[in-house]
Amino acid sequence: MGFLQNLFSGGANTLVDSVGKVLDNVVTTKEEKMQLENEIRKSEMQFQLDLKKLSNEEQQMILGDISSARQREAQVQTSEHATKLAKNVSPYLALGTTFITLTLFFVLIFRPGNVPQESKEIILYILGVLSAILTQIYSYYFGSSAGSAAKSQTIASIKER
């Protein structure tokens, strides 16, 4: 129990120091120390490179998902077998959400007396959710500057490879 107690109560610091001393004893010449430092730097750079590759793969998956959703939407819109509701459900939902959000904003700004005090917090919460949904709707229909910036960075990193 004494070892674990020492390890967790400051013994970890001593452990790191003793490992460093062992490495200093194993690596005796200046060239060996430089070679060890180069290997450590090389490993760190490889780690950073692998991390960047994973980040790029994640971005490509996100962009692929967005692309497939857009393709599905285009197929529904151009299909002669799709119903009128299937072709228009997204725009109807977008317009309805926009209308409800703007109406709630109007009521809270210009008619605050019509909102009961006990339900005001609930309405503000709902308004926050609707505002977030409205942001996503606008990003879908008009594009997102954050997505565009990320897409530009992804394309640039692909070109560098």
pLDDT tens-digit map of 112-148? 777 788 888 888 888 899 999 988 888 877 776 555 6
Q: Round to whole Å and give the CA distance between 41 and 137.
A: 46
Q: Round to whole Å and give the CA distance between 37 and 65.
A: 42
Task: Enumerate the domain spans of the chain.
Answer: 83-161
Q: Round to whole Å and give the CA distance between 136 and 143.
A: 9
Q: Round to whole Å and give the CA distance between 77 and 85.
A: 11
**pLDDT tens digits along 74-115:** 888 888 888 888 888 888 989 999 999 998 888 888 887 777
Q: What is the mean pLDDT of the chain?
A: 79
Token pair of 30, please?
A: 């200046």
Contacts of 82 (CB under 8 A, 6+ apart): 76
pLDDT at site 25: 59
Q: Round to whole Å and give the CA distance between 151 and 60.
A: 9
**Prediction pTM value:** 0.48
Question: How many residues can be counted in the chain?
Answer: 161
pLDDT exceeds cutoff 60 at 9:
no
Q: Round to whole Å and give the CA distance between 10 and 6.
A: 6
Q: Round to whole Å and give the CA distance between 16 and 20.
A: 6
The better pLDDT of the pair 156, 74 is held by 74
pLDDT at site 1: 47
